[in-house]
Amino acid sequence: MSQAKVDQYKKEKANRKKAMQKEKASRMAYGLLGIIIAAAIVSWAGYSAYNRSNGTDTANENSSVQVNTDAIDNYLNDLGSD
């Protein structure tokens, strides 16, 4: 083994503990993030299912809106009379 390889190995060995701690913290953060995302999805699905089963979902309500189209009708009639 050359002296450069020996020095490289010693550096890696000296920093191995810090590198492993950093890797472990990174894995823990990704795992925690995954758990949070999964919990959010499950909560949203449960909330949606609850609203559908109880009929409190406002997106499916039948509603009517009245629009006054007199101005458009007059404009179109004026165009047709020329």
Instruction: Give the domain ranges of the chain.
Output: 3-80
Q: What is the mean pLDDT of residues 12-34?
A: 94
Output the DSSP codes for 16-55: HHHHHHHHHHHHHHHHHHHHHHHHHHHHHHHHHHHHHHHT
Asked whether the beta carbons of 47 and 41 are under 8 A apart, the reply is: no
Taking the whole predicted model, whether its pTM rises above 0.75 is answered as no
Write the pLDDT tens digit of every residue in 32-70: 999 999 999 999 999 999 888 887 655 556 677 889 999
Q: Distance between CA 18 and CA 76 in Å, rounded?
A: 77
